[in-house]
Amino acid sequence: MPEATHVGSGKVRELYALDDDRLLLVASDRISTFDVVLPTEIPDKGRVLTGLSGFWFARTRHVVPNHLLALRDDARSTECRRLEMLPIECVVRGYLSGSGWKDYRATGEVCGHRLPEGLVESQQLPRPIFTPATKAQTGHDENIDRDAAVELVGEDRFDEVEATALALYELAAEHARARGIILADTKLEFGLDDRGRLVLGDEAFTPDSSRFWPADEYRPGSTPPSFDKQFVRDYCESLGWDKTHPGPELPDEVVTGTRARYVEAFEHLTGIGFDDYLADPRVVLA
Ligand code: PZK
């Protein structure tokens, strides 16, 4: 009898069923840039993201329960509760970037939130906003307004998810800011347990689900360097690659530099040595 049945693939993660109630979420070392998964892996990237998620799940349990049951010894696998996932991506933005900036420039609004005139790219918003999106099976998620999201999850659930996502963002952004990192925005995913209670799932506050900017390089009006993938982006740009599949192999110095950035972010945000995490992943839960 197989230990686990493969049930899904993300771009850089795999999902397995352990039994009727439990899933195993495995974070690989694959890296994507410009939406293409590259042929070269970044050693330990999946472990860094798994550790950061675990850290955040442990520190936000008082805000909302989450799906984490256990971190495995391989430091890249999370045993989690199987949930009924809500059909929306729960994005919170504290700064104007990515599709939020694009929508604002076109309409002055993001997901129905009318914003002040004259904001520039990457500018901090007057207050964080909840900007849900549909979960596209292929291609890009589509930003939706409150009415469209209410249509998908119901009004009471929408209000609960919005308040919870904003509270989680505020907590993580304040923690990161005190350590010199701006959490510009983040994508959260929620599900319901067997009693219909809201539970935080997926990954939480990782560089793959969030924009982290080094505070000392932040300058409104430009696109800040993403702290983790900037070496990879810069290298890919230098090749004149057309950003279609397949992506380029990365040279050793880009791999080494990028791995160092991930490990540095882990240690900076958690205050835990990465070697200590590898020796016993449960240290992030303490
Ligand atoms: C669930 N995904 C996204 C797809 C991945 C991840 N706790 C949960 N219960 C039920 N379903 C999911 C989760 C979680 N997390 C997550 N799809 C379903 C996904 C493919 C690979 F790694």
Q: Give residue-wise pLDDT tens across range 233-245.
A: 999 999 999 999 9
pLDDT for res 172 = 98
Distance 202 CA to ligand 1 centre (A): 6
pLDDT for res 1 = 54
Distance 84 CA to ligand 1 centre (A): 10
Cβ neighbourhood burial of 279 (10 Å; 0-12, 13-18, 19+): exposed
Atom of ligand 1 at shortest range from CA of 80: 7
Test site for ligand 1: of 11, 13, 23, 53, most ligand atoms within 8 A of the Cβ: 23
For atom 14 of ligand 1, which residue has the closest CA?
202
pLDDT for res 250 = 98
Ranges of residues in the chain whose predicted pLDDT is under 50 = none
Q: Which are the contacts of 14, defined by CB distance < 8 A and separation ≥ 6?
A: 6, 8, 25, 26, 28
Instruction: Estimate the share of the chain in helix, then strand, then coil, as percent rounded to the nearest 5.
Output: 35, 25, 40
pLDDT for res 97 = 97
For atom 15 of ligand 1, which residue has the closest CA?
202
Test site for ligand 1: of 7, 12, 22, 25, most ligand atoms within 8 A of the Cβ: 25
Q: Please tell me the distance from the alpha carbon of residue 15 to that of residue 27, in angstroms, as a whole number.
A: 9
Single out the residue of 50, 117, 15 nearest to residue 284, CA to CA.
50
Q: Please tell me the distance from the alpha carbon of residue 183 to that of residue 179, in angstroms, as a whole number.
A: 11
For atom 4 of ligand 1, which residue has the closest CA?
10
Asked whether 183 and 177 are in contact (CB, 8 A), the reply is yes
pLDDT for res 232 = 97
Single out the residue of 112, 82, 92, 109 nearest to residue 161, CA to CA.
92
Q: How many CB atoms lie within 10 A of CB 147?
A: 10
Q: How many CB atoms lie within 10 A of CB 203?
A: 24
Q: Phi first, then psi: what are they for 123, rounded to 5°?
A: -65, 145
Test site for ligand 1: of 66, 141, 202, most ligand atoms within 8 A of the Cβ: 202
Residues enclosing ligand 1, CB less than 6 A?
A: 8-10, 13-15, 23, 25, 67, 80-83, 85, 191, 201-202
The whole-model pTM stands at: 0.98
Atom of ligand 1 at shortest range from CA of 83: 9
* Full 3-state SS string of 150-202: HHHHCHHHHHHHHHHHHHHHHHHHHHHHCCCEEEEEEEEEEEECCCCCEEEEC
